[in-house]
Structure 1
Amino acid sequence: MKEPFMLGGGCLVSYLLGSLHGVQIVAKLLRLDLTTIGSKSWTGTNLLRAVGVRAFIMAVVVDVFKAFLPTYIAIVIWHEPWQVILVGTLSIIGHTNPIFFHFQGGKAVSATAGMFFALSIWYSVLWLAFPAALGVFLALIILTRIVSLGSMLGTLSGALVITLLSLDRSVPWEITVWVGGVVIYIWWCHRENIRRLLQGKENRFNAIRW
């Protein structure tokens, strides 16, 4: 009987940690309303555009760590992939729908990275997806100066690598299914960016402040 309560408690704690939205915390410390700037969204990209690299790094560290921590703890406590994935995913849901910030959050990328870092400690073969994801992400930013495009196609590239790894059962099927689902969720969170991309109106980077 204790197991369901422990798992439920882990999910709740993970969601609450995920709701500590790093971008909004940093922005509010700087007395900055990102809904009036750039893409008008509470995202790391918009914070980077509005303030600069240092504020962006602080926010990303918070958003990555808050998903890494509950996922890693879940790995230590539970040994079934589906339990770990369930707990970790709640931190991503908290990131995109933070209860502490009126359910206005980010677009799942940094929190997904934090959860994936923890899963990669558990299954080290997952690290092979990072070069593909990071390479596509950086290449598209350099070529197009559009971060949303790099984020979406970068995560898709990483997911394709993991799918290939799962063919010889190096990766549990639960993680492969989760990766597919989280990519769809990231793209759904970027639906406004996709609309602007199709219209040729998506924001591009120019100069970046430190």
Structure 2
Amino acid sequence: MPIYFIFLFPAVAYLMGSVSGAILFSKVFNLPDPRTIGSCNPGAANIFRSGKVYLSILVFMFDLLKGMLPVWLAYRLDLPLLYISLTALAVCIGHIYPIFFQFKGGKGVATALGTIAPIGWDLSGLILLVWLLVVLISGYSSLASVITAVLAPIFIWWFRPEFTFPVSVLACLIIWRHHDNLERLWKGGESKLFRLNKRKK
């Protein structure tokens, strides 16, 4: 395999990550730009808060798949761990800092989950379960994302220890992207996912 082919993976993954599902589907369905409503974050949670449940599911699946596909292909081609890790980081950075949208993107939660899926469905299912439980108990999507990001490297270390470092880097990136949410949570000003959606109804 040519060496340039290996280095193409992170570059292509970044470009894939830069395609925002929230903005794309909002345009297709003639809905307001998600960067101008709610939390102004182009992600599935903000779409959900607007009352468009079906669209939030589409956005979540899109962001998850764009994270999964390049990592799955690199994994299937048996590329070195370093390149698989760089591919996963690149697609998440693309989602968070998209070149197509002035480097202003989402929080990277669904895309990061997608990058973990090729490692093991049981592992990604466990991570998703933790996120859902925290959301159902607390009502805060941001809190669920941060707690899941903290626990994800521990789960990875238990199941697939060789991926602990890249997943830890992803977790730190996600926590950093939620620093505004953490400040609002501390001050009691963070909006609950379900309560806000019910008010819209």
Same fold by TM-score, threshold 0.5 exceeded? yes
8 Å CA contact 1:15–1:92 kept in 2: the answer is yes
Shift of the alpha carbon at 1:95? Answer: 0.8
- After TM superposition, the structure 1 = structure 2 runs for residues 55-204 of structure 1, keeping only pairs within 5 Å, are 55-120=55-120, 127-128=122-123, 130-131=125-126, 133-163=127-157, 165=158, 171-173=160-162, 175-204=163-192
1:81·1:172 contact (CA, 8 Å) conserved in 2? no
Structure 2 match to 1:49: 49
**Letter in structure 1 aligned against 2:10:** C
Distance in 1 (alpha carbons) for counterparts of 2:98 and 2:51:
22
Per the alignment, residue 20 of structure 2 pairs with 21
- C-alpha distance after superposition, 1:143-184 (max 9, x if no partner): 221110011112322322223x1xxxx6243x1111111111
Structure 2 partner of 1:124: none
Gaps of 5+ in 2: none
3-state DSSP class of the match of 2:166?
Answer: helix
Assess if the C-alpha contact under 8 Å between 1:129 and 1:162 holds in 2. Answer: no
Q: Secondary structure at the match of 1:104?
A: coil
Aligned counterparts of 2:147 and 2:83: Cα–Cα separation in 1: 28
SS in 2 for 1:42: coil
Moved >3 Å (runs of 4+): 207-210
With 98-107 and 151-160 compared, the bigger mean Cα shift is at 151-160
For the 8 Å contact 2:44–2:56, the answer to whether it is kept is: yes
Q: Quick check: 1:135–1:154 contact (8 Å CA) kept in 2?
A: no
Using the alignment, how far apart are the partners of 2:100 and 2:123 within structure 1? 35
The question of whether the paired residues in 2 share the 8 Å contact of 1:43 and 1:107 is answered with yes
Distance (whole Å) between structure 1 residues aligned to residue 62 and residue 138 of structure 2: 27
Gaps of 5+ in 1: 122-126
Aligned partners of 1:71 and 1:119 also within 8 Å: no
8 Å CA contact 2:130, 2:148 repeated in 1? yes
TM-score, length basis structure 1: 0.85
RMSD: 2.1
Distance of 1:153 and 1:88 partners within structure 2 = 20
Q: Which amino acid aligns with 1:93?
A: I
Q: Matched residue pairs, number?
A: 197
